[in-house]
Amino acid sequence: MGVPRSASVPRGAGLLHDPRLNKSSAFTEAEREALGLVGLLPEGVDDLDTQLRRALVQLDAKTTDLERYIYLSQLQDTDETLFYRVLMSDPARFMPIVYTPTVGEACQKFGHLFRRPRGLYVSIKRRGHLREILRNWPERDVRFIVVTSGERILGLGDLGANGMGIPIGKLALYTAAGGVPPQYTLPLLIDAGTDNEELLGDPLYLGLRQRRCGDDELDSFVDEFVKAVQQEFPRCCIQFEDWAGNDAVRLLERYRDKVCCFNDDIQGTAAVALAGVLSALRITGTPLGLQRFLFFGAGSAATGIAELLVRAMRDEGLPADEARSRIALFDRKGLVTADREAMHDYQRPFAQRRAPITDLASAVEQLRPTAIIGLSTVGGGFDRRVIEAMARINERPMIFPYSNPTSRSECTAEEAYSWTEGRAVFAGGSPFPPVRYGGRTFVPGQGNNVYVFPAMGMAVFATGAERVTDEMFIASAAGVAEQITEQDLGNGLIYPPISAIHETEIHAASRVAEMIFAKGLATVERPQGDLQDYIVSQAYVPKYRSLV
């Protein structure tokens, strides 16, 4: 599809500096003549596949994944089509570079790596002017904003303005995995200061040099932000990403029934975990209502998963109180019990009525969970005692260390398989290589939110959904689990291979879209024919457009 002749297409060097329209060496002879490019490019005319080969050669020459991240960031800034062609050519290779785990290192060094701004930086000192700032964004039809406060980046803590790498990476995956056209996306950072002393003392830090504001001031500012988004981009869905736990819960509850929004750390993580559990139960052969879950980590992500598990168990006929009784939380103070003096409101429904337990292995022995789920960011938290205890009480223990990056994972795949004599049903939050044990090769799955948020985005985009609901996340989890084959299960894989991520996302998006239409949340007419075919027809494909 060509650009309409009425569209404003820059000429000459200006065109080469426009990442959305730039084709670099792929401009045709006709385009070079008409758009003032003759002499600004070598005479050779490439196609997109040739450009892909050249980019892969350059990537192969890099010696670290951080260098590859920097190269891909520059490519995104200069030739967006080629950038997505590279990502989609080999998702299993490139997704861990543009997102976890490499993005964690990139965020830590963001101010030192900074070359060209991307997205919007909204500082709290700009209160009262948010609509003006949003108008500075060149696109007027924004459908998705991923917004972070930078206070809880992955498992790395408060990175302030350095956290902008997360919205950038997330939205790249909206497109590369889910098919959302990139022109509708906007990465955004709310800069409310930072309490990270190292960053405040770093002369290369790019953010607001002050300590974080209080909750009331933050809430007032976010309220202004949400209202400004609704006014400037009325069809926009807001994804809250990597906020501090208390802020995440509070803001989600404030806005979830008022605007189209979701929190990926709470709801996306929950859906991914539910998808893993649903797949794992095909291996263990036991129903969801008979499971017992022990969470290591009792923050917003853990309780988000717990609440979605309760809802899924209720859908299978289990009373809510009984479902909650099958879930326990364990944090740095030990088991969360009803007599604990201080706890967050979102933890109370899962507080156990029993004596305190301060040792995780002892909690496993006493509570006898069928699954342990790690969201603690405590590297090595599932030690040998914990995993061997799980193996003693379960024939097929489910072990899910979901903390990332890899350095914060509660255990490795090799530890889980070797300490359970190959009986573990395993998935991690970061990628792990295949494990050889007892004459078998196990392929560890990665329970990454990338299985859900791009599919959610594509479904919302295709249907114009007015809200995002828990039912939609359960539908996405079911859609992901449905993509697991018996061969995958035989290899120990409970998530679809990343190499097939686009197909998985499209299927999950169609399941979510089905729920959107069924619940009357769509703003477009339901298409005739197969819903998945409709989703495919709406998805972005990286190819150059004719400019003349």
The per-residue pLDDT for range 77-110, each reduced to its tens digit, is 999 999 999 999 999 999 989 998 899 999 999 9
Q: What is the mean pLDDT of residues 165-176?
A: 97
> pLDDT tens, 216-229?
999 999 999 999 99
Topology given in CATH for the domain delimited by 102-259: Rossmann fold (3.40.50)
> pLDDT at position 100, please?
83
List phi, psi (to 5°) of 495: -125, 145
CA distance 327 to 349: 10
List phi, psi (to 5°) of 37: -105, -5
Structure tokens given for 196: 């990270």
Mean of all residue pLDDT scores within the chain: 95
Structure tokens given for 140: 């007027």
| Pairing between β-strand 293-296 and β-strand 371-374 as defined by DSSP bridges | parallel
Q: What is the mean pLDDT of residues 50-78?
A: 97
> pLDDT at position 7, please?
53
Q: How far apart are the first and last CA of the chain?
A: 11
Structure tokens given for 428: 């991690």
| DSSP-H helix ranges across 9-64 | 12-16, 29-34, 48-60
> pLDDT tens, 253-293?
999 999 999 999 999 999 999 999 999 999 999 999 999 99
> pLDDT at position 72, please?
98
| Pairing between β-strand 334-335 and β-strand 327-331 as defined by DSSP bridges | antiparallel
pLDDT score of 119 more than 80: yes
Residue 3's pLDDT band (boundaries 50, 70, 90)? very low
Q: What is the mean pLDDT of residues 392-405?
A: 94
pLDDT score of 2 more than 60: no
> pLDDT at position 402, please?
93
Residue 140: how many CB atoms within 10 A of its CB? 9
Chain CA centroid to CA 132, Å: 29
> pLDDT at position 430, please?
82
Q: Over the range 302-340, which residues count as b (16 or more CB within 10 Å of their CB) and which as e?
A: bbbbbbbbbbbbeeeebeeeebbebbbbbbeebbbbeeb
pLDDT score of 442 more than 80: yes
pLDDT score of 6 more than 90: no
pLDDT score of 460 more than 50: yes
pLDDT score of 372 more than 60: yes
Active site amino acids: 99, 170
| DSSP-H helix ranges across 285-379 | 300-315, 320-325, 360-367
Closest CA to 268 of 332, 344, 173: 173
Closest CA to 407 of 78, 68, 104: 104
CA angle 280, 284, 287 (to 5 degrees): 85
Extents of the domains making up the chain: 12-93, 102-259, 265-548
CA distance 302 to 413: 21
Rounded alpha-carbon distances, angstroms, from residue 485 to 103, 138, 294, 417, 492: 30, 44, 27, 21, 11
Domains 102-259 and 265-548 share a fold: yes
Topology given in CATH for the domain delimited by 265-548: Rossmann fold (3.40.50)
> pLDDT tens, 180-213?
999 999 999 999 999 999 999 999 999 999 999 9
The DSSP code for 45 is -
> pLDDT tens, 483-535?
999 999 988 899 999 999 999 999 999 999 999 999 999 999 999 989 999 99
Q: What percent of the chain has pLDDT over 70?
A: 99
CATH architecture classification, 12-93: Up-down Bundle (1.20)
Q: Which of 402-411, 464-473, 503-512 has the lowest mean pLDDT?
A: 402-411
